[in-house]
Homo-oligomer: A and B are copies of this chain.
């Protein structure tokens, strides 16, 4: 085909979200709606608060009015009044006040999500120009503007798959039960706006919002114990039960409509636009609670969900497909079913009774119901086998499923039966019936099978090195650890080519090695369709990969999991190419992967040690290099993007992530992680689930059919130059400045974070000499609390300033306007600056940092301003978020500001007190004189561990601290 004219940036730009797309009056509409809902929830919350704490409620009103006045006027006098009011609170009051503002922030987020969903629905109902490209739009665009032929679009869609991998994440601060309540509030809000309610039902709905708020308010919002991996897995599965499982077929149906609009047939039955993966219970990187049993439980749990979801669907079909017309093949199948249950009348008669024995008496005039009831019986049997496996943890799940002829091993047989029904209905002219629920079930069975989502396994490379070392030293082959790369490769390749077992049956193992070997053995017993990829984190050599392949071979994992190396730090990104080249040039490995390889590239850690810009650029280049190496060996490379949650770790709207990848690196397939609270935003509502699937589909379709032009050489050099400078600037402060670590520890609550048991991974106990020992998440999370987001922008200022000095301003502006990658990076920085608030940083510095470190503080604040100005100059924005596309976002931040301000002030207070205690000041000196807590206040103060033992004053301060941390974090996350 004539190459489609590359989409000119301008037209792609015009379709970028935000400018021109969302017309100004649609913007006003959204702003009006957002404010209206925000007011409603705030009023309701305040009246709930007033009901339980009348006196305090008046203080909260005035605090809020003062916070608002300050946010608008920015005058110090308003600030002092606000501070004084907060100072005057007693410990139990400060718990309630901080909790109040934290709730208000969560409720505010609910309004944002509800608005997004409403805008979504409106867009789908097309009341305003869709705020983003729906697939429908992009098909039009591809046809009309980019002139690609509808048949090509159809072909591309049929072979396109977006693989979404759910990963729990450690900052998922709000508890499941709270999320539930907010979800209920959201549903009630939608009912309030979309259904014709009489005043009576309106009151019932307002009343329900109230009782959910009440419930949320009376719940201890601090999570008092650590979640287990199984908890995390279960929480992930709820999104399948609630939105994804039923939402997917509806989405595919709308794709069919969109295809119809460009004169194309519907998607074929076996098209797989989406598949789903999970890490919960498979990711053992730095999480010793993930044991082989955990993995087994999680796999069985997911299969149980898949089987019962499918059973529900089959039962609905049994009611709907009550037709008598059928093709001979179906009649034959129905007769066999009849024979099956009446022949061994006695034997199996007893068997099926367990769950209703009515198979016996269905007449041949209901052929569909006959075959479907057999399907249901076999699904039930599959469930029993799985339950059986749960009871006896030593049973091999795969064998158990294969051992029972009545149980389904996987979805193939089931799909064949459903197909038989489908073809029969199509043949007898019941086209309309074939394409309603049956089609949906076919597509669900196709996508979710009997596994629901595939579990990835993730482990650090060093663990495998130790395991290999334990083996080689035991066999007297020497110590694997001391061998250099070549010797390892030679050894591994021989073993892989050889037939001799390597793993001695009575190998003495340390618990770590036992866990590694145990995992591989477990994988050999789990059904392969429930497993995804084996990911090696911190990998930088080819042997890291082969070691895992060998260990799988030795432990009898068949079929083997594809091994995915994860390149995280900047250094790793450099070895990535050589490592892959070496692997592809190893004949054994080359024909082992059958022309398909997947590599994972991660954001968070690289950002930690080189700063954002350098990390982003490093990743950009590494993707190109890997794609090039893959093309040399004509291997189809799939890139697995581990994306962070909050913006801090490179989050931001999903499809931007797709379109900002190097052109040509996405060819119809992509894997992306969906993190903790991003799960709630992207799949909490059916509407947002549509929105998410819609974005990914159209983004991948475009990146495949009409990728952007390659960035010119000049841009790359400039970018490389800036990456180098920013990296140096970043490290100059973070590593070489001796004052930094103490500055960091005193201005942020990084040391106090350990107390919030968030996430199943154990928090590292050591107080750290340097930040190397600090994991990426707390590092960024800590800076988010003080509204400084240092790791995101540090070093960028120098890079931009140096380029501008060199007279490359025009060039940078050109890069911003015409290079998606650069634009997304700067937009994200703008967003971060919009959330940062230097006034708050100064407040933290004044209160918590020793005077002689203030030099560093002022130095960093100056960098902050310079970076902001440089950024705005490049973006040609007079002030932050000034383009209409971000006007909506700006309003969101303004609405949050008066809720966050009091939390920051309270946090500073708590940190001062807690550190005074740690510094040895006896508690009595810190307790205000007139502190005589009532019996109720006492109960409030002693919910926490320390509240119970030491005296309650400290308990109160700690709880306030934790609540403020959660509140601020809720304020900093940005909804879509």
- Tell me the A residues contacting B by CB distance below 8 Å: 52, 124-127, 175-178, 180-181, 194-196, 198, 200-201, 210-211, 214-215, 218-220, 224-225, 228, 230-231, 234, 319-320, 322-325, 350, 353-354, 356-358, 361-363, 365-366, 369, 387, 390-391, 429-430, 432-433, 436, 939, 943
Output the nearest chain B residue to A214 by Cβ-Cβ distance. B432
Contact of A215 (CB < 8 Å), options: B230, B320, B362, B391: B320
Output the nearest chain B residue to A219 by Cβ-Cβ distance. B322
Assess whether A323 is in contact with B224, with CB atoms less than 8 Å apart.
Answer: no
A73 to B354, CA, bound (A): 60
Whether A125 touches B201, Cβ cut-off 8 Å, given contacts A211-B433, A218-B325, is: yes
Contact of A323 (CB < 8 Å), options: B219, B228, B369: B219
Assess whether A353 is in contact with B390, with CB atoms less than 8 Å apart.
Answer: yes
Set of chain B residues within 8 Å of A177, measured between Cβ atoms: 319-320, 322, 369
Whether A198 touches B234, Cβ cut-off 8 Å, given contacts A320-B215, A324-B220, is: no
Assess whether B220 is in contact with A354, with CB atoms less than 8 Å apart.
Answer: no
Set of chain B residues within 8 Å of A320, measured between Cβ atoms: 177, 180-181, 215
Whether A228 touches B195, Cβ cut-off 8 Å, given contacts A177-B319, A219-B323, A323-B220, is: no
Output the nearest chain B residue to A357 by Cβ-Cβ distance. B230
Output the nearest chain B residue to A122 by Cβ-Cβ distance. B198
A583 to chain B, nearest CB (A): 41
Set of chain B residues within 8 Å of A430, measured between Cβ atoms: 214, 218
- Give 5 closest A-B pairs by Cβ, nearest first: A220-B324, A177-B322, A125-B198, A224-B363, A219-B322
Assess whether B363 is in contact with A225, with CB atoms less than 8 Å apart.
Answer: yes
Output the nearest chain B residue to A127 by Cβ-Cβ distance. B198
A330 to B210, CA, bound (A): 25
A483 to chain B, nearest CB (A): 43
Whether A231 touches B323, Cβ cut-off 8 Å, given contacts A196-B195, A433-B218, is: no
A361 to B232, CA, bound (A): 14
A181 to B320, CA, bound (A): 8
Assess whether B228 is in contact with A358, with CB atoms less than 8 Å apart.
Answer: yes
Set of chain B residues within 8 Å of A211, measured between Cβ atoms: 432-433, 436
Set of chain B residues within 8 Å of A319, measured between Cβ atoms: 176-177, 180
A684 to chain B, nearest CB (A): 15
Contact of A219 (CB < 8 Å), options: B214, B215, B324: B324
* 23 A-B residue pairs with CB within 8 Å: A124-B200, A125-B200, A125-B201, A177-B319, A177-B320, A177-B369, A181-B320, A194-B196, A211-B433, A214-B433, A215-B320, A215-B433, A218-B323, A219-B323, A219-B324, A220-B322, A220-B323, A224-B363, A225-B362, A225-B363, A228-B358, A234-B356, A350-B391
Assess whether A215 is in contact with B322, with CB atoms less than 8 Å apart.
Answer: yes
Set of chain B residues within 8 Å of A230, measured between Cβ atoms: 356-358
Output the nearest chain B residue to A392 by Cβ-Cβ distance. B350
Assess whether A943 is in contact with B432, with CB atoms less than 8 Å apart.
Answer: no
Output the nearest chain B residue to A124 by Cβ-Cβ distance. B200
**Additional 20 contacts, C-beta under 8 A, given A210-B432, A231-B358:** A52-B429, A125-B198, A175-B322, A195-B195, A211-B436, A214-B432, A215-B320, A218-B323, A220-B365, A220-B366, A224-B365, A225-B361, A225-B363, A228-B361, A230-B358, A234-B356, A234-B358, A325-B939, A353-B390, A365-B943
A934 to chain B, nearest CB (A): 14
A363 to B224, CA, bound (A): 7
Set of chain B residues within 8 Å of A196, measured between Cβ atoms: 194-196
Output the nearest chain B residue to A194 by Cβ-Cβ distance. B196
A325 to B177, CA, bound (A): 16
Contact of A391 (CB < 8 Å), options: B214, B353, B365, B436: B353
Set of chain B residues within 8 Å of A433, measured between Cβ atoms: 211, 214-215, 218
Copies of chain A in the complex: 2
Assess whether B323 is in contact with A215, with CB atoms less than 8 Å apart.
Answer: yes
A195 to B432, CA, bound (A): 25
Q: Which of A225, A234, A319 has the most CB of B within 10 A?
A: A319
Q: Which of A175, A198, A215, A231 has the most CB of B within 10 A?
A: A215
A361 to chain B, nearest CB (A): 6
A175 to B324, CA, bound (A): 14
A198 to B194, CA, bound (A): 10
A633 to chain B, nearest CB (A): 46
Set of chain B residues within 8 Å of A432, measured between Cβ atoms: 210-211, 214
Set of chain B residues within 8 Å of A369, measured between Cβ atoms: 177
Set of chain B residues within 8 Å of A198, measured between Cβ atoms: 125, 127
Assess whether A387 is in contact with B224, with CB atoms less than 8 Å apart.
Answer: no
A432 to B56, CA, bound (A): 20
A270 to B200, CA, bound (A): 28
Set of chain B residues within 8 Å of A218, measured between Cβ atoms: 323, 325, 430, 433
Set of chain B residues within 8 Å of A323, measured between Cβ atoms: 215, 218-220
A277 to chain B, nearest CB (A): 22
Set of chain B residues within 8 Å of A127, measured between Cβ atoms: 198
Set of chain B residues within 8 Å of A224, measured between Cβ atoms: 363, 365
A178 to B353, CA, bound (A): 26
Set of chain B residues within 8 Å of A939, measured between Cβ atoms: 325
Output the nearest chain B residue to A301 by Cβ-Cβ distance. B356
Set of chain B residues within 8 Å of A181, measured between Cβ atoms: 320
A210 to B430, CA, bound (A): 13
A390 to B352, CA, bound (A): 10
Output the nearest chain B residue to A125 by Cβ-Cβ distance. B198
Set of chain B residues within 8 Å of A195, measured between Cβ atoms: 194-196
Set of chain B residues within 8 Å of A200, measured between Cβ atoms: 124-126
Set of chain B residues within 8 Å of A125, measured between Cβ atoms: 198, 200-201
Set of chain B residues within 8 Å of A363, measured between Cβ atoms: 224-225
A211 to B431, CA, bound (A): 10
Set of chain B residues within 8 Å of A201, measured between Cβ atoms: 125
Set of chain B residues within 8 Å of A391, measured between Cβ atoms: 350, 353-354
Assess whether A390 is in contact with B354, with CB atoms less than 8 Å apart.
Answer: yes
A387 to B356, CA, bound (A): 11
A218 to B326, CA, bound (A): 11
A215 to chain B, nearest CB (A): 6
A206 to chain B, nearest CB (A): 13
Assess whether A943 is in contact with B231, with CB atoms less than 8 Å apart.
Answer: no
Set of chain B residues within 8 Å of A362, measured between Cβ atoms: 225
A228 to B220, CA, bound (A): 53
Set of chain B residues within 8 Å of A219, measured between Cβ atoms: 322-324
A178 to B178, CA, bound (A): 42
Set of chain B residues within 8 Å of A324, measured between Cβ atoms: 219-220, 943
A933 to chain B, nearest CB (A): 16
A230 to B432, CA, bound (A): 33
A210 to B926, CA, bound (A): 74
Set of chain B residues within 8 Å of A361, measured between Cβ atoms: 225, 228
A94 to chain B, nearest CB (A): 18
A194 to B390, CA, bound (A): 47
A735 to chain B, nearest CB (A): 40
Output the nearest chain B residue to A175 by Cβ-Cβ distance. B322
A955 to chain B, nearest CB (A): 13
Q: Which of A194, A231, A325, A429 has the most CB of B within 10 A?
A: A325
Output the nearest chain B residue to A425 by Cβ-Cβ distance. B218
A436 to B218, CA, bound (A): 14
A424 to chain B, nearest CB (A): 12
A505 to B366, CA, bound (A): 47
Assess whether B354 is in contact with A387, with CB atoms less than 8 Å apart.
Answer: yes
A436 to B208, CA, bound (A): 9
A358 to chain B, nearest CB (A): 7
A841 to B734, CA, bound (A): 101
Output the nearest chain B residue to A199 by Cβ-Cβ distance. B125
A307 to chain B, nearest CB (A): 14
A580 to chain B, nearest CB (A): 42
A956 to B200, CA, bound (A): 54
Output the nearest chain B residue to A362 by Cβ-Cβ distance. B225
A974 to chain B, nearest CB (A): 27
Set of chain B residues within 8 Å of A322, measured between Cβ atoms: 175, 177-178, 215, 219-220
Set of chain B residues within 8 Å of A214, measured between Cβ atoms: 430, 432-433
A52 to B357, CA, bound (A): 36
A898 to chain B, nearest CB (A): 27
A200 to B136, CA, bound (A): 15
A284 to B322, CA, bound (A): 30
